[in-house]
Structure 1
């Protein structure tokens, strides 16, 4: 089997490539950097420039599945211009892939795309399953809603479409975790706001395994990419501090302070989504990291 991965050189994409190779799945990948092109037998790069609608259509040759991970980071300040980048990097890339498949008449069986739990409204009491139809009225909710709609466009090409709504990804060298633990390491750690907001997290290795499992088991529809046991922001902060053997001496960090520092992006720290992993579990997927403590020990020690 050969899969085409967009975003293959990113934090999660690199892990997915590794998992694919472990399962003897060949990888084609798209990159905007010609210096990152590789021509190994099981790892072949192709150039694209979505901003100018350029793509090397040979990337689809022999490919039966697309794993779609492309998207600009949401962890940069949300100026009006950058908001457009966040949205367009998800929707216009999907359109370019669809237009190219159609133009050259390639046959793709399955598309497994990243999505995000940010589509769910913030709540301290709801327990969100994939059947939920409410959409968050935040910028992030709007982005995810439009992103999923763009990905659904693959259905018109005869593709099975899977959307994995990703939670807080815990990784050693990127994503949110290094930023969360940075103040803790300096003895300045604290929960955000009330600390009661839910954090539905997943270890990056489990997330990569889930994407490959979705390909191999032909998942269809929406799935939550979160571990089985969400925690509160306060629990996450305390657990990280214990593992790092650092005290938590500061009071909770108020919302207005983070709004001054981060602008609209501060909602990432205060949104609360308690999300169910039951659907992927019922499909037979087994998490390596079910609870937060072992996941943090693996990543922080």
Structure 2
């Protein structure tokens, strides 16, 4: 397949590109910066003055949209929230425009999304059939992002919204910050400790994206989380066990709110999310449980 990736230079995008290349696909990466194309990867400028990516993209089978300012960076003041929201809307608008200009339309768009669309809850369990939508910043952002990409459904293009959970990886995502207190021997319960962490190893994220590319039965929302979410206290205890560090230093909610501001919701609130669609379609997780996932990411491999 010939696959165009927006956001291909990011944490998930780089790993996805490597996997797709290993599987023999041809990759086009949309980028704001000048980059020299290789035999395996074509770089095409977009979202910059004079860029006309639709003139350089031909015979595309699929688009993958991972573009957007990271929610893990910054303090989530009004300016940063505007960047998070605006970057996703702008990138998706441009992808829709590019696709509308193509002589031959792609068969599928895989659009990044997030479980932040579901309201925070200790009791509720969410699947793709859940209709509740969070009324906070993340809920609005994800809802509007998905609604914009849904315009392609009108053109009979299969559209999949990959609702990522808390992505765990070595080079990015939430894990480095979550593990740091334990490495410093000050790890412990965060907030109430009852909030859910619906996590997923980055390896399974990119494998799930490839699965969605190839499985024509998948469309609409797809939760990309492991089948074994944990509450924060148990999640922290597992980090401590893998790193051989104590889990003893509690961090009250007010401290997290003081340090992180509104972004503290990422660690003080959570959703219990199950990947029902992936499981029903027979997707097999490489890391279905947390301890092996953390051992893969946090321990030294010779």
TM over 0.5: yes
Asked if 1 retains the 8 angstrom alpha-carbon contact of 2:161 and 2:221, the reply is yes
Structure 1 counterpart of 2:71, from 69, 74, 77? 74
Asked if 1 retains the 8 angstrom alpha-carbon contact of 2:128 and 2:276, the reply is no
- How is 1:1-301 mapped onto 2 (pairs within 5 angstroms)? 1-34=1-34, 37-49=35-47, 54-75=51-72, 76-218=74-216, 219-250=218-249, 252-301=250-299
3-state SS of 2:209 partner: helix
Aligned residues: 297
Alpha-carbon distance in structure 2 between the residues aligned to 1:22 and 1:61: 22
Normalised TM-score (structure 1): 0.95
**Superposed structure 1 runs of 4+ greater than 3 Å apart:** 52-55, 103-106
The CA deviation string for residues 44-64 of structure 1, in whole angstroms up to 9 with x for no partner, is: 1111126x6944224531211
Give unpaired runs (5+ residues) of structure 2.
none
Q: Tell me the C-alpha RMSD between the 2 structures.
A: 1.4
Asked if 1 retains the 8 angstrom alpha-carbon contact of 2:228 and 2:289, the reply is yes
Normalised TM-score (structure 2): 0.94
Alpha-carbon distance in structure 2 between the residues aligned to 1:59 and 1:119: 35
How far apart are residue 69 of structure 1 and its match?
0.6
The CA deviation string for residues 13-45 of structure 1, in whole angstroms up to 9 with x for no partner, is: 1111111112111110111121xx242222111
Alpha-carbon distance in structure 2 between the residues aligned to 1:24 and 1:275: 33
3-state SS of 1:234 partner: helix
The CA deviation string for residues 156-176 of structure 1, in whole angstroms up to 9 with x for no partner, is: 333110001000001011111
Alpha-carbon distance in structure 2 between the residues aligned to 1:102 and 1:227: 35
Going from structure 1 to structure 2, the CA distance change for 1:2 and 1:103 (only over 3 Å counts) comes to closer
Alpha-carbon distance in structure 1 between the residues aligned to 2:170 and 2:82: 29
Asked if 2 retains the 8 angstrom alpha-carbon contact of 1:201 and 1:227, the reply is yes
How far apart are residue 201 of structure 1 and its match?
0.6
Alpha-carbon distance in structure 1 between the residues aligned to 2:113 and 2:14: 17
The CA deviation string for residues 127-146 of structure 1, in whole angstroms up to 9 with x for no partner, is: 10101111111111110001
The CA deviation string for residues 67-97 of structure 1, in whole angstroms up to 9 with x for no partner, is: 1111101122112121111011111211111
3-state SS of 2:143 partner: helix
Going from structure 1 to structure 2, the CA distance change for 1:111 and 1:53 (only over 3 Å counts) comes to farther
How far apart are residue 106 of structure 1 and its match?
4.1
Give unpaired runs (5+ residues) of structure 1.
none
Asked if 1 retains the 8 angstrom alpha-carbon contact of 2:227 and 2:289, the reply is yes
3-state SS of 2:200 partner: strand
